[in-house]
Amino acid sequence: MQVLRGMVDILPAEARRWQWIEAVFRETASRFGYGEIRTPLLEHAELYERSVGDTTDIVQKEMYVFDDRGGRTVALRPEGTAGVVRAFVEHKLYGRETLPLKLFYMGPMFRYERPQSGRQRQFHQFGVEALGSDDPFLDAEIISLAWFFLQSIGLDTVELHLGSIGCPGCRLRYRERLIRHLLPHRDELCEDCRRRLDTNPLRILDCKIDGDKPFVRSAPTILDDLCDDCKTHFTQVQTALDALGVPYTIDPHLARGLDYYTKTVFEFIDTRIGAKSTVLAGGRYNGLVKELGGPDLPGIGFAAGVERLMLLLEKKAVPSGAAAAFDVVVSGFGTGQDVAWKLLFALREAGVRAEWSFDQKKLKAVLRDADRAGARYVVLVGDDETVRGEVTLKDLKSGEQTTFSQETLVERLKTLLS
């Protein structure tokens, strides 16, 4: 039996690197005042059709959709925002919590697309959402949180691209101009973009096949169609980012792939894992709460692909920061085995990462396995130590070996490790 195409096993050595990057994201989000939310992997398919948009590639081509035994049409989670907003509405958090409500999530998502480097059919995302405020300073906070997180994991070469797609009124005006510009080139578009020209022309700007063609790059920009309110909002976001010293490039053709976006949109990109590869992206979605049955409250957020971040970390050779698996390995010989076994659990109860030396009867093998496990110390209890009520502690780094009473082992080791 082998893993399904597009699914990947994360083995223990790699999992430690994942744990490190998850801890950095969790700490960063918490520092900015964001609390964790966990939503189901399985939702009604209609949730994504109404939020992501029934003309998007995600809904039309990529979702894992099936009927469950109750006859309900359900989907595996393809992105995180819709589920968070659904929970916000369902539990009436807008009436129970101080707004803006600031949330973060992390976990697996599923899209049926062609597997490639940094992109699998089961993939993982970090994300944040802030619901209940249209303040441009909130946009700047979300973007600066993303920037700070990327800096914290050592990705200081990613570029922030910033844009605005305005409100629905702005987009309606722009849509008409964009169609007029692209219509003469209809036959030059890929099959998907010929369909998008009728259903969702803004997605053509983001197409991996047509997006860089000269007639697409020369298309009019939505920034010229922004209403006064959207222009002011976009200017204030830039001013707030300038004050923080967060560098960015205005991208007039920036278009996100989901229908719920409004006003501010942004991407952090890096070219080292493919041309214009997006590693983190987001924007405002001011009509989504209302669309899902809640009050007319605004929202903004972002998501980052963990696999792409891990790929960048490998290419940059940034140390994972993951700690060794164990601090100490404990081994007993002869009559010392029972004593050593009890000491092992005393160390674990005290918060020390301790491991038993399984299946090893010789000291040389114990020391070899401890070194492979990344342990700093080895605790040895043999017949002589048992009679004297002592233990032998060996420092694998310095080679120094000391003997002291069994009763003081826990405190001595905690002191050494601190």
Q: Does 218 have pLDDT greater than 90?
A: no
C-alpha to C-alpha distance for 108 and 128, rounded to whole angstroms: 15
DSSP secondary structure letters along 359-386: T--SHHHHHHHHHHTT-SEEEEE-HHHH
Give the pLDDT band (50/70/90) at residue 323.
low
207, 188 contact by CB (below 8 A) = no
Q: Does 307 have pLDDT greater than 60?
A: yes
Instruction: List the strands of the sheet with 299-305, edge to edge.
Output: 35-36, 101-110, 122-131, 299-305, 277-284, 262-270, 159-164, 249-250
pLDDT, tens only, 264-276: 999 999 866 655 5
Same fold, 12-167+227-316 and 328-417: no
pLDDT, tens only, 166-182: 998 888 888 888 888 88
Number of neighbouring beta carbons within 10 Å of residue 140: 21
Q: Does 203 have pLDDT greater than 80?
A: no
Q: Does 185 have pLDDT greater than 80?
A: yes
Binding-site residues, please?
A: 79-81, 111, 125, 129, 256, 260-261
φ, ψ of residue 289 to 5 degrees: the values are -60, -45
Q: What is the pLDDT of residue 60?
A: 85
391, 409 contact by CB (below 8 A) = yes
C-alpha to C-alpha distance for 18 and 307, rounded to whole angstroms: 9
CA atoms within 13 A on the CB side of 49: 9
Q: Does 367 have pLDDT greater than 80?
A: yes
pLDDT, tens only, 245-261: 999 999 988 876 566 78
Element (H, E) at 135: none
Q: Enter the tokens of residue 68.
A: 């469950």
H-assigned helices in 245-324: 288-291, 306-316
Q: What is the pLDDT of residue 390?
A: 96
Q: What is the pLDDT of residue 330?
A: 94
Task: Provide mean pLDDT across the span 55-84.
Answer: 93
> pTM of the entire structure?
0.84
In the chain, the largest separation of any two C-alpha atoms, in whole Å, equals 93
Give the pLDDT band (50/70/90) at residue 193.
confident
Q: Enter the tokens of residue 253.
A: 């053709």
C-alpha to C-alpha distance for 314 and 50, rounded to whole angstroms: 38
Binding-site residues for L-histidine, please?
A: 79-81, 111, 125, 129, 256, 260-261
Q: What is the pLDDT of residue 373?
A: 81
Q: What is the pLDDT of residue 306?
A: 95
Across 92-106, 364-378, 389-403, least confident range = 364-378
φ, ψ of residue 326 to 5 degrees: the values are -135, 150
Give the pLDDT band (50/70/90) at residue 324.
low
Percent of the chain with pLDDT over 90: 65
Q: Where are the domains of the chain?
A: 12-167+227-316, 328-417
Q: Does 285 have pLDDT greater than 70?
A: yes
DSSP code of residue 113: S
Find all residues with CB under 8 Å of 14, minimum gap 6, and list them.
none
C-alpha to C-alpha distance for 270 and 158, rounded to whole angstroms: 5
Tokens 């899902």 sit at which residue? 292
**Any bridge partners for residue 108, and if so which?**
124
Q: What is the pLDDT of residue 215?
A: 86
Give the pLDDT band (50/70/90) at residue 216.
confident
pLDDT, tens only, 79-89: 999 999 999 99
Percent of the chain with pLDDT over 70: 95
Q: What is the pLDDT of residue 239?
A: 96
Q: Enter the tokens of residue 364.
A: 């040389």
- Residue 129: which of 162, 165, 80, 163 has the closest Cα? 80
Q: What is the three-class DSSP state of 171?
A: helix
Q: Does 317 have pLDDT greater than 60?
A: no
281, 266 contact by CB (below 8 A) = yes
Mean pLDDT of the chain: 90
Q: Does 96 have pLDDT greater than 70?
A: yes
Give me the CATH topology for the region 328-417. Rossmann fold (3.40.50)
Per CATH, the number for 12-167+227-316 is 3.30.930.10
Buried b (16+ CB within 10 A) or exposed e, 355-377: bebeebeeeeebbebbeebebbb
Number of neighbouring beta carbons within 10 Å of residue 64: 16
Q: What is the pLDDT of residue 341?
A: 94
